[in-house]
């Protein structure tokens, strides 16, 4: 089984980066709608979405934000960290089939409290920024290495 490990507060440094990539699938949008209860037709109904300024369906903004959470949980700071806060600006729509890359950079450390500030930028496959922001996280001082849990298999019928 694959292992994941955190970056401890002492190991973390300003300028440290990581990236996380995911291609948005139809199933992701449907599952996010089910999970969140956000069934706005701009996400689910192509005919309706064609009449909007977007000209077609778009992913939920918070789905994209959830990918930032995944990057933080799996890479920097990694397991054992606690996501404390996030500011975000949604810059462009995300569509089914887009490949999103979350880029995280450590921009600050608050000694004594083990709190890190992280720049968060999500771009699509064309390099266009779709979300920008800043996150804060409580970072573990202990080294944590755990088995990566498999992504649950879920089918929508």
Q: Is residue 53 part of a domain?
A: no
**28 pLDDT above the threshold of 80:** yes
Total domains in the fold of the chain: 1
Tell me the CATH number at 114: 3.10.129.10
Q: Within a domain: residue 140?
A: yes
Two structure tokens written together for 25: 């699938």
Asked whether the beta carbons of 110 and 139 are under 8 A apart, the reply is no
Express each pLDDT in 126-157 by its tens digit. 999 999 999 999 999 999 999 999 888 887 77
C-alpha to C-alpha distances, 84 to 7, 13, 78, 121, 139, nearest whole angstrom: 17, 19, 14, 17, 10
pLDDT tens digit sequence for 56-103: 999 999 999 999 999 999 999 999 999 999 999 999 999 999 999 999
Per DSSP, the three-state class of 146 is: strand
154 in a domain, yes or no? no
> DSSP string of 27-58?
HHHHHHHHHH----HHHH-HHHHHTSTTSS--
**Quick check: is 100 in a domain?**
yes
């Amino acid at each position: 089984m694959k292992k994941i490990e955190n970056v401890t507060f002492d190991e973390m440094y300003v300028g440290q980066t990581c990236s996380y990539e995911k291609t948005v699938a139809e199933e992701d949008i449907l599952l996010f709608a089910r999970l969140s209860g956000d069934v706005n037709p701009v996400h689910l109904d192509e005919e309706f979405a064609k009449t909007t300024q977007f000209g077609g369906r778009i992913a939920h903004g918070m789905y994209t934000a959830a990918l930032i959470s995944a990057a933080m949980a799996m890479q920097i700071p990694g397991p054992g960290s606690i996501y404390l806060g996030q500011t975000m600006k949604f810059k462009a729509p995300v569509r089914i089939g887009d490949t999103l890359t979350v880029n995280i950079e450590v921009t600050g450390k608050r000694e004594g409290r083990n709190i890190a500030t992280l720049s968060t930028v999500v771009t699509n496959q064309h390099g266009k920024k779709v979300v920008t922001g800043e996150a804060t996280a409580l970072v573990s001082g202990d080294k944590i290495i755990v088995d990566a849990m498999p992504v649950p298999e879920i089918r929508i019928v």
